[in-house]
Amino acid sequence: MKDGSDAFEGVEFVAGDPGVLAARPVRAFAKGSLSLLADVSARLMGDDRARRLPDVVSFAFWCRRAHLEALAKGYAEAPLRLGRGLALHIAPSNVPVNFAFSWAFSHLAGNVDVVRVPSKAFPQVDVICTAIGKAMAVAGDSRSAFVRYPSDGAATESLSLVSDVRIVWGGDATVARVRSMPCPPRCVDVAFPDRYSVALVDERAIADLDDGGLSELAAGFYNDTYLMDQNACSSPRTVIWLGADGCQRGRFWRAVRRQAAEAYDLQGAVCTDKYVRLCADAASGLVSERASFDGRLTLAPLAEMPGDLSDLRGYGGYFYEVEAGTMEEAIGSLGARCQTIVYYGVDPEAVREAVVDAGCAGVDRIVPVGSAMDIGIVWDGFDLARVLSRVVEAR
């Protein structure tokens, strides 16, 4: 029995209670886990407030029963797997629903979960935690708790002492700080540090698009980038053009710009930041003279393909672009920090082969334009249902 009596000092419970520390892990993809998530989904789908929040809707859609059952089919060995124990989740402060996915993955893996939710008062957090709290009460489930405490609170440290898994989302500094806190010897850390993403687009494929197809592509790209201020790990920062003929990309950018003009809430300070970045990039010789400032969509063509694209971090609609002669050249510039390649007009299997053949240190995800933000149980190269559970072998 774990002694966690002091672990919750200074902590506010948004859902669940301190009794969570007495709960036991269960089998991966246990019936009860699926049912609880499905109930949460149904509750959110039936909640007017939730239905007005697109990110809550996508979470609810993800954990609907049909999807969970389909997902479970990919884990035929699940009955032989057991949750690792107590999982402590540190979620990012400025992505409202990330905590819910983190919890859902771990809950499916069979863990007992303590989830620290964003301290910012996002309506999403409130809506989701209310639904989970009700579903838990109905099911008599006490395997999860959702907590809030200030960033300088000691709870991460005290909870670490009794955790079997720590799931840390956020910047490198957060990951390093949590890692430095003592934990039991068998504790497993799953860290999601700073990453960046790129888009890989074959310019010839754009030539084949009619206006409708082009605006559909632009809408997908808008969702991949502007929707999260182009500041999520999965948002492309650089577009690498293959099959460059130079004529089609203007069409593409004009279409993206139209989307941004229609839908993006452009803040003055974001424009200023982009202007400062463009000046700095010009001063250092990074961008070519074809670059020009536009507060809505700033294009920064690179003077040449850099050895590593990791440090190119525009945000809020600041796109670097560069041509690559071959797939190999494109992939050669992606370091360990590269998470997602968002593609268009390119065969994803061919990209995967090139990444694997090159022994690339990064690139965990290759997804079509429009899907960059679709979080899944396989994330950052981890199959979380497996990483967060253990095999109980008998022979």
Contact set with other proteins (CB under 8 A): 90-95, 98, 116, 118-120, 151-152, 156, 168-171, 173-174, 177-178, 192, 194, 228-229, 231-233, 266-273, 275-276, 278-280, 282-285, 287-289, 291-296, 315-316
In angstroms, what is the minimal distance from the CB of 208 to other proteins?
32
Strand order of the β-sheet with 298-301 is: 298-301, 318-323, 236-242, 196-202, 338-344, 365-368
Could you tell me the two tokens for 388? 């967060």
Is the CB of 178 or the CB of 322 nearer to other proteins?
A: 178
Is the CB of 95 or the CB of 219 nearer to other proteins?
A: 95
Is the CB of 19 or the CB of 381 nearer to other proteins?
A: 381
Spatial contact of 223 and 230, defined as CB atoms under 8 Å apart:
no
Q: Which residues contact 101 (CB under 8 A, 6 or more apart)?
A: 59, 62, 375
In angstroms, what is the minimal distance from the CB of 392 to other proteins?
33
In angstroms, what is the minimal distance from the CB of 280 to other proteins?
6
In angstroms, what is the minimal distance from the CB of 269 to other proteins?
4
Rounded CA separation 3/158 (Å):
11
Is the CB of 178 or the CB of 388 nearer to other proteins?
A: 178
The radius of gyration of the chain's CA atoms, rounded to the nearest angstrom, is: 22
Closest CA to 237 of 340, 351, 88: 340
In angstroms, what is the minimal distance from the CB of 117 to other proteins?
9
| Beta bridge mates, 116 | 90, 147
Is the CB of 30 or the CB of 90 nearer to other proteins?
A: 90
In angstroms, what is the minimal distance from the CB of 198 to other proteins?
16
Transcribe 20-61 into DSSP letters. GGG----BTT-HHHHHHHHHHHHHHHT-HHHHT-HHHHHHHH
Rounded CA separation 85/318 (Å):
43
Q: For strand 389-391 and strand 188-192, is the pairing parallel, antiparallel, or unpaired?
A: unpaired
Is the CB of 271 or the CB of 305 nearer to other proteins?
A: 271
Q: Which residue has the tokens 């022994």?
A: 359
In angstroms, what is the minimal distance from the CB of 187 to other proteins?
17
Could you tell me the two tokens for 336? 């360990």
Is the CB of 140 or the CB of 268 nearer to other proteins?
A: 268
Q: Which residues contact 375 (CB under 8 A, 6 or more apart)?
A: 62, 98, 101
In angstroms, what is the minimal distance from the CB of 98 to other proteins?
7
According to DSSP, residue 192 is labeled: E
Is the CB of 41 or the CB of 298 nearer to other proteins?
A: 298
